[in-house]
A = this chain, B = another copy of it.
Amino acid sequence: MSNSSPVKFDDPPVFPRGFRCTSTNCGLKPDAKDLALFVSEKDSSAAALFTRNHFPGAPVTLGRETIKAGRLRAIVANSKCSNVATGARGLENARRMAAAAAKEIGSTADRVLVSSTGVIGVQLAIEKIEHGMVGLAAQLQADPMVGAEGIMTTDTYPKALSARVGDATITWVAKGSGMVEPNMATMLAYIFTDAEFDAPALDRMLRQAVHVSFNMLSVDTDTSTSDTCAIMANGLAGRVDEKAFLETLTAGCIRMTETLARDGEGATHLLRAIVRGAASEDDARRIAKSLVNSPLIKTMVHGADPNVGRLLMAVGKAFEVNVRPGSTDAWINGHAVVKGGERLEFDEAAVRTALKSEVVDLEVMLGVGNASATAYGCDLTNGYIEENAAYYSS
């Protein structure tokens, strides 16, 4: 997949100093891993962003409380059951999950961030999680992919990245395949670093990075009740330049966003909508999101069908945005297809071939200002429908 930034990512990804993880099957799923634990050897500064959905899961409610102190020692996450719409019992189960992890690693529950992902409206089998937690501390190891595997739901592969900033390392671990149009965070994205920052600095940088990355991702327009993006900085590498750190943090969040979009449920393409020349950043973001969210754009990309009029439809349906048809131009992977609001004559065979690329860039120049934005999505396929027509039952 294309790399949209000059940042070099490690292959394979590694952890910063002092971070380790493990994952296991505790019985929520028949065989696959369903419980993951990420631990720092010392308490870390931390920040987190959560879903804006009105029905946050119990782990999100608890996480908002936990993160207030700006300190974390560990993150524990299960898949299969999201512990959402589960009332007081759900919240109690989230607290028990934090306590079980704390006991296992020799910390306290208020230093453990809990996440759960999976079906909504089913109570968590907390005894299985408590039982599965026993002995995990002895299994902690250095490969972030092992933790990434434990948080997968419909993801087709585990997702981790790492990159260097001065003497420090940043590592991203994430999952998110359906019910993904995050607002404040992606479904589950954890970022670990040995750089030294206090919690307010982490919070500020996390918000900036998420604004242009996870918050511009949409697989299916549906905003999860569990979205969580957290960062932990244990300081073992000392201070690094904040500007360089923010640049790398942002680049990794964008790269992870692209990875999540490409692995959207049923997806076969990464779709990027790059909007320039907007009157405001908000306008650019709305148009970019309108493009990646349009089922007709998504099916056009899926079928490699150069039905380019749909680009204008999707730009034009953002009623509240300042759009001037006569100044609107568009390109598909560099091929000019619209000029001044009219469809150009173009080489259809070449555009068909472009639409078959794994990464399809839809660029729109609005010609009314200087603001820009990029949104990240994927195509819409039968795979998405098959996955979601029987998610609960299967």
Contact = CB atoms under 8 A, between A and B. Distances in A.
Contacts of A314: 222
B55 A313 contact: yes
Q: Which of A293, A315, A343 counts the most B-chain CB atoms under 10 A from its CB?
A: A343
A367 interface: no
A365 to B, nearest CB: 15
Given A224-B313, A316-B53, A295 B384 contact: yes
A356 interface: no
A391 interface: yes
Interface stretch (A116-124, A196-204, A207-215, A252-260): A116-124
A280 to B, nearest CB: 16
Contacts of A7: none
A53 to B, nearest CB: 4
Contacts of A382: 382, 385-386
A222 B294 contact: yes
A302 B387 CA distance: 12
Interface stretch (A13-21, A36-44, A83-91, A142-150): A83-91
A341 B55 contact: yes
A93 interface: no
A387 to B, nearest CB: 8
Given A87-B342, A317-B222, A338-B85, A119 B307 contact: yes
B319 A52 contact: yes
Given A85-B338, A296-B388, A389-B305, A225 B178 contact: no
A333 interface: no
A54 B303 contact: no
Interface string A221-245: 1111100000000000000000000
A140 interface: no
B315 A54 contact: yes
A6 B393 CA distance: 38
Contact of A389 (B82, B85, B303): B303
Interface string A322-343: 0101001000000000101111
Contacts of A34: none
Quickly give the copy total for this chain: 2
Interface in A343-360: 343
Contacts of A165: none
A341 B310 CA distance: 38
A309 B54 contact: no
Interface SS of A by simple majority = loop
A49 to B, nearest CB: 14
A169 interface: no
A390 interface: yes
A368 to B, nearest CB: 11
A306 interface: yes
Contacts of A299: 384-385, 388-389, 391
Nearest to A301: B389
Contact of A220 (B295, B386, B393): B295
B305 A121 contact: no
Contact of A54 (B293, B294, B316, B388): B316
Contacts of A389: 299-300, 302-303, 305
A312 to B, nearest CB: 4
Nearest to A312: B55
B296 A178 contact: yes
19 contacts: A54-B323, A55-B316, A55-B328, A55-B341, A56-B316, A84-B309, A85-B312, A85-B343, A120-B308, A120-B309, A120-B343, A121-B308, A121-B343, A222-B313, A223-B317, A302-B385, A305-B391, A307-B391, A382-B382
